[in-house]
């Protein structure tokens, strides 16, 4: 459990990292360079890592078969994503995503980070995130370095 106290904002105990796949971890179906290494570092820090995708390309399970510690879950709708986050414990979950389909899980998760990369981000996803970043590596760096989270969210 990674506990971080942010002055004026609150305390977060983060145990689960839930990531959208397309547009967040990948660009045009390929992993954004460096992403897999970051996920390994976050797992070493104690995060349970989940990747949620509509699996439009039908390759989700195959993509993660060499990473048994990352749970890949097929989710069809925004409601599916929200229900999954609630099932693992929304209060201890940080979500990272970029689309309208991520908005409902952003609303229930303790912490939500929106990535605006090559595929863009839905305006609603930006509005419902606690933090907006321009690259997935920045989102994952924030989770690796609590001082960055504190500096951004404190009042």
**Binding site residues, Mg ion, CB under 5 A:** 20, 22-23, 98-99
- The least distance separating Mg ion from the CB of residue 6, rounded to whole angstroms, comes to 26
Cα 4 to chain centroid distance, Å, stands at 17
Q: State which residue has the least CB distance to Mg ion.
A: 23
DSSP letter (8 states) at residue 22:
B
Joined together, the tokens standing for residue 15 give 């145990």
Name, in order, each residue with C-beta under 8 angstroms of 103's C-beta and a sequence gap of 6 or more.
78, 122, 124, 125, 128
Return the number of the residue (16 or 98) whose C-beta is nearest Mg ion. 98
Return the number of the residue (23 or 136) whose C-beta is nearest Mg ion. 23
CB count within 10 Å of CB 29 equals 11
Q: Confirm if 139 and 115 have CB atoms less than 8 A apart.
A: yes
DSSP letter (8 states) at residue 90:
G
Return the number of the residue (126 or 150) whose C-beta is nearest Mg ion. 126
- The least distance separating Mg ion from the CB of residue 24, rounded to whole angstroms, comes to 5
**Which is it for the CA torsion 36, 23, 83, 5, positive or negative?**
positive
Residue with tokens 């907006």: 132
Return the number of the residue (14 or 121) whose C-beta is nearest Mg ion. 121
- The least distance separating Mg ion from the CB of residue 23, rounded to whole angstroms, comes to 4
Residue with tokens 């967040």: 24
- The least distance separating Mg ion from the CB of residue 9, rounded to whole angstroms, comes to 26
Return the number of the residue (78 or 143) whose C-beta is nearest Mg ion. 78
- The least distance separating Mg ion from the CB of residue 102, rounded to whole angstroms, comes to 7
């Amino acid at each position: 459990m990674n506990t971080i106290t942010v002055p004026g904002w609150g305390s977060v105990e983060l145990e689960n990292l839930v990531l959208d796949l397309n547009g967040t971890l990948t660009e045009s179906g390929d992993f954004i360079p460096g992403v897999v290494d970051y996920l390994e570092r976050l797992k070493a820090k104690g995060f349970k890592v989940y990747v949620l995708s509509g699996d439009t390309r039908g390759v989700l399970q195959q993509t993660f078969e060499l990473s048994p510690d990352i749970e890949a879950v097929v989710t069809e709708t925004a409601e599916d994503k929200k229900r999954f986050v609630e099932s693992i414990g929304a209060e201890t979950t940080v979500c990272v995503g970029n689309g309208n389909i991520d908005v409902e899980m952003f609303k229930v998760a303790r912490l939500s980070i929106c990535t605006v990369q090559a595929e863009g981000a839905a305006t609603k996803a930006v509005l419902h995130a606690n933090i907006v970043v321009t690259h997935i590596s920045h989102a994952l760096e924030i989770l690796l370095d609590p001082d960055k989270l504190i500096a951004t969210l404190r009042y």
